[in-house]
């Protein structure tokens, strides 16, 4: 180790040596421990019904509760557990505390042939998002493209839920949202921007589709938290410490550091991810006139309205060259049948990992939740005096 | 070195040790050698005039030659020398050989309120791009948004040229193009997709603007070639070898390997860059019905038409919340005034490095070309029997 340390001519190379050495030591300490019997199988319909029961119990309008239920269980069905039932307590709390409006509907503030500006009226994010998506689809049918931008919105869950709705209508869909500041601009010390996710979905033949749904940061905060809990280092490129330096220590990221934009350090193109994060903010907060950038509330700060900005685009492929789904299928096939790299077994396209997870859920007759989550949900049910979530018989 | 090598518990960690060791050795060998007197200063107007002279000499329509001249010199002015005068010979050759149409204009094949599908008629890329951009701006004025997709196009130079045109018209601009396959999908062995760049520009107050212009690969091929020429290793994450494995040897990337999508390896989010590259292809080749993905000709293969697909979007900020430029300026200020990380002096936003370069050019009264390029241009002038490019007096 120290041979290499002294051979290294740059500070960053020396730092890399130390980090690598620590990584080796920690890897030896760490063993995974997840037991099969920690899992509980719940039918999708029961999971949805449970979310609805909770939300209605705290006073949410039944149709709003239904939108949220469909969205959260869709996330779990697709394997994005961080954005599913796991977040239910947050939505319940937002409604219960009055930070989120229980009732009302989004309203259109301004409209042109291909666009609309919407006030979400502080109702649940999925209600705003579905409203805007359906409006964008309607406009795309008439004008070839529809773009709807909303202010006054809230957490909208997985960005892919909205774009898949477009794909089901035969359209290309795009969605974007701003989020609380967590991402450090290239060369900066502290977070200014959010993980600002984007999604693009496009329909192919026979029900197949491309569904990209990604944060513009290298990883989501949850992954850093997970490594911190397990006491294992994070890969170099996920986060920075409180001085804006690359770190592999997850607690340094969580304590005054920040997430890196996609690409990581500048030499690996991190400034592009930083640009993308800012681009999403422009399409959301800056166009919408909502909170934006460093002015978006911290995601744990519940006393003020979120006033998030979001953007939804639907594109009608019939406005362009005929035969779109066929070409989509060909492109996806070219990627999927590409020869795997040494050590890999298959090449996927965006949406395939989710499809694999959905197949598993279908075969098992339900989604698998960890017992800890079930216990939290049982506690929530008791608290709200509603029927708890029933596992598969 | 070997202590650390044997301490490392994973193959990748061991590989990292070897690479790091080699890197240290090569860094000692390498010294940069660029002399001040290798540079020649040329006024921007003369550079533009020279491009026009060349293109007209091989038969290009004068208005087409003018578009190309403006684009190429704009790239050099902004400091993107790889996309400027450096590429003139390619355009000259494309017109001379007949691969590119000398004459004609793009035509609209299909039109809706917010969209148009265009056939570029195989004229020069900048001519197609300017036509589509102006059409998108016109539509955005009427419908709030305009999206124009072209088939039958050619290399369109810097993607930012089109989006800045939108910003100058007070609009947000987006542009995309597909390119020859060079990027290896995550987990694959060989390139399937292009470096598929995208640009987003947005106007702020007092002539300020955000201009993101980026390939969806970690770096452009030119950077790999440069390192190869200088015999210095590339950072891990730029490219893969012919087995689809990460490599720091640039010649392995060039000989049967490929570029990595933004993010690099899968653990650092490379699958997101892969998704973005595919997303750009969907907006371009798949919507346009042009060549796409692995079917785009190799960029050195000149016997067939390129038939590239491109996409141009203009968004009218007046269709949304009033006060867009003010919020843009605030967001940019928040980033620019963010405290720099340890070892950094300033935080920039997309477009700032180019602004710094343009300031330098303005102060010096011209753009600085390397003598080698000037010699090539002199040779071209002789070949075409036109006046050579005149340096600043």
Q: Tell me the pLDDT tens digit for each residue of A259-275.
A: 999 999 999 999 999 99
State the pLDDT at residue B349.
98
Fold that domain B34-103+351-393 belongs to in CATH: Hypothetical Oxidoreductase Yiak; Chain: A, domain 1 (1.10.1530)
Q: Does residue B295 contact residue B306 with C-beta atoms inside 8 Å? A: no
Question: If you count them, how many residues does chain A have?
Answer: 393
Per-residue model confidence (pLDDT) at position B36: 57
* Nearest C-alpha neighbor of A142 from the set B143, B370, B385: B143
Confidence at residue B19, expressed as pLDDT on a 0 to 100 scale: 38
Determine the pLDDT at residue B302. Answer: 75
C-alpha dihedral (B361, B362, B366, B367), degrees to nearest 10? 20
Dihedral, CA of residue B264, residue B268, residue B272 and residue B273, to nearest 10: -20
Q: Is A321 in contact with B289 (Cβ distance < 8 A)?
A: yes
The residues pairing with A147 across neighbouring beta strands, listed in sequence order, are A115, A313
Q: Which residue of A has its CA nearest to B220?
A: A269
The partner residue sitting opposite B20, judged by closest CB among A4, A187, A315, is: A4
The pLDDT tens digits of the residues spanning B209-249 come to: 999 999 999 998 888 988 998 899 999 999 999 999 999 99
Contact status, residue B67 vs residue B161, Cβ threshold 8 Å: no
Higher pLDDT, A330 or A225: A330
The answer, yes or no, to whether residue A341 has pLDDT greater than 70, is yes
Q: Which fold has domain B106-218+261-329?
A: Ribosomal Protein S8; Chain: A, domain 1 (3.30.1370)
Q: Which of B4, B240, B335 sits opposite A1 (nearest CB)?
A: B4
Residues of chain A in contact with residue B235, where contact means CB-CB under 8 angstroms, are 267-268
Quickly list H helices, chain A. Answer: 2-7, 11-29, 44-57, 62-77, 88-97, 125-143, 160-168, 221-230, 250-254, 270-281, 287-288, 324-336, 352-364, 371-383
Q: Which residue has the tokens 């400027």?
A: B84
CB contact (8 A) between residue B335 and residue A20? no
Yes or no, beta carbons of A114 and B143 under 8 Å apart: yes
pLDDT digits (tens, 9 = 90+) for A48-87: 999 999 999 999 999 999 999 999 999 999 999 989 999 9
pLDDT at B252: 97
- Where helices occur in chain B by DSSP H, the ranges are 2-7, 11-29, 44-57, 62-77, 88-96, 125-143, 160-168, 221-230, 250-254, 270-281, 287-288, 324-336, 352-364, 371-383
At B10 the pLDDT is 40
Q: Give the gap in angstroms from C-alpha B17 to the nearest C-alpha of chain A.
A: 8
What per-residue confidence (pLDDT) applies to B38?
A: 83
- Sequence spans of domains, chain A: 1-30, 34-103+351-393, 106-218+261-329
Confidence class for position B298, pLDDT limits 50, 70, 90: confident
Mutate to test the interface with B, among A139, A144, A210 (most CBs of B within 10 A): A144
Angle between helices A371-383 and A88-97 (to 10 degrees): 20
């Amino acid at each position: 180790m120290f041979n290499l340390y002294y051979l290294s001519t740059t500070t960053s190379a020396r730092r890399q040596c130390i980090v690598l050495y620590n990584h080796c030591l920690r890897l030896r300490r760490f063993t995974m421990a997840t037991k099969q019997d920690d899992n509980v199988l719940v039918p999708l319909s029961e999971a949805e019904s449970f979310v609805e029961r909770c939300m209605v119990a705290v006073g949410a309008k039944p149709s709003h509760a239904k939108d949220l239920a469909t969205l959260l269980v869709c996330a779990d069905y697709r394997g994005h557990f961080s954005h599913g039932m796991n977040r239910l307590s947050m939505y319940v709390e937002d409604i219960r505390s009055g930070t989120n409006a229980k009732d009302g509907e989004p309203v259109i503030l301004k409209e042109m042939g291909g666009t609309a500006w919407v006030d979400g009226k502080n109702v649940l994010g999925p209600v705003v998002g579905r409203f805007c998506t359906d409006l964008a689809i309607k406009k795309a049918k008439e004008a070839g493209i529809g773009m709807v931008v909303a202010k006054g919105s809230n957490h909208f869950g997985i960005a892919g839920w909205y774009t898949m709705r477009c794909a089901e209508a035969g359209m290309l869909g795009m969605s974007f949202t701003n989020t609380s500041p967590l991402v450090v601009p290239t060369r900066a010390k502290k977070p200014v921007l959010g993980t600002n996710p984007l999604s693009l979905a496009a329909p192919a033949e026979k029900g197949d589709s491309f569904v990209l749904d990604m944060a513009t940061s290298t990883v989501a905060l949850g992954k850093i938290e997970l490594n911190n809990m397990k006491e294992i280092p994070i890969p170099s490129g996920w986060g920075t410490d409180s001085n804006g330096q690359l770190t592999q220590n997850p607690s340094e990221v969580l304590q005054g550091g920040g997430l890196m934009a996609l690409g990581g350090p500048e030499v690996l193109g991190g400034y592009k991810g930083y640009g993308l994060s800012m681009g999403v903010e422009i399409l959301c907060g800056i166009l919408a006139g909502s909170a934006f950038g460093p002015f978006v509330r911290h995601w744990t700060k519940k006393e003020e309205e979120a006033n998030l900005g979001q953007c939804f685009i639907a594109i009608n492929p019939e406005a362009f060259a005929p035969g779109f789904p066929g070409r989509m299928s060909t492109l996806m096939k070219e990627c999927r049948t590409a020869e795997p790299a040494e050590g890999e077994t298959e090449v996927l396209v965006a949406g395939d990992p989710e499809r694999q997870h959905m197949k598993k859920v279908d075969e098992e007759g339900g989604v698998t939740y960890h017992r800890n989550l079930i216990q939290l949900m049982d506690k929530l049910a008791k608290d709200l005096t509603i029927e708890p979530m029933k596992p598969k018989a």
